Amino acid sequence: MPILSSAVEVRPCPVPLFRADEVPHPERALTRGELVRVRAGIYAPAGAWTELMPWDRYLTRVHAAETPFESVSRAVIEWLGFPSPELQVTSMSASGVEDRADFAWPDISLVGEADGDLKLDGRFGDPRTLLRRQAARDARLRERWRAVVHWGWAEATTISPLRGLLQGAGLHASLPENAAALLSLKRAVAPRPPRATSAPIKA
C-alpha cells in the first residue's frame, strides 16, 4: 500500500469517532440506530453521519482507516454504488495461517485488496519471491473466499478500472453512481500517489 513520504495536512474529523472498547455494547447501539460502523471497530454517531456530505464521509474514513489509500478505495466503491464491504476481515487457512483482507463482501464470497503500486524493481526484495508470497497468500484466502481482487492507486483514482474489476468479480451496484463525487475525486487526486512508494506485498 502507498506510504506517503511527506507530511500531509488533513482537516480535523468532522464527527467524533469511537473505538469498540469506548462504547458499551456497540452492536446493540448499531441495532438501535444510534451508531454507524465506519470501519471494523470504529464507530460514529448515526445522526451526525447521516448529515455528512460525501467528501466529509470520505474525510471521516481517512481518520478511521489504516491507510489513506484504503479510504480512497472505500469512497470510490461507495460512490460507484456498490454495496458497502466489510473492512479488515480475517481468515484462517487450513494450515493455521491468519490473513487479513482489506475489503470483503461475504454474500458473494469476494475479497478486495488495495495493494498500492506494486514495485518489482528489487527495492523490496527479489520480485519472484514477492510474487510467490502474494500467490501463496491469495491461495490461502481462496480457501475461504470465491475470488480475490487486487487494485492499485491508479485503478481506484481513475474510477473505471476499479469498477470493471469489481463487476468482473461478480459484484453488482445496488445504488446509482454518485457522478459528482466521482468527478470531484478525479479532479482532486492524481492517478499516481504523490511522492509515494509501495509497501512490500503482504505475506
Q: What residues are paired with 45 via a beta bridge?
A: 35
User: How many C-beta atoms lie closer than 10 Å to residue 28's C-beta?
Assistant: 11
Q: Which of 156, 133, 183 is nearest to 67 (CA)?
A: 156
Helix ranges, the chain (H): 26-31, 46-50, 54-64, 68-79, 127-142, 153-157, 160-168, 179-188
pLDDT of 121 reads: 57
pTM, two decimals, is 0.66
**Whole-number Å distance between alpha carbons of 45 and 84:** 18
Q: Which of 170, 129, 188, 156 is nearest to 75 (CA)?
A: 156
Q: Hey, where are the domains in the chain?
A: 2-8+69-198
Interval 63-111: pLDDT, tens: 776 666 777 888 899 999 999 999 889 999 999 999 989 999 999 999 9
Interval 8-42: pLDDT, tens: 345 678 888 877 766 778 888 899 988 998 887 88
pLDDT of 159 reads: 93
Residue range 2-8+69-198, CATH number: 3.40.960
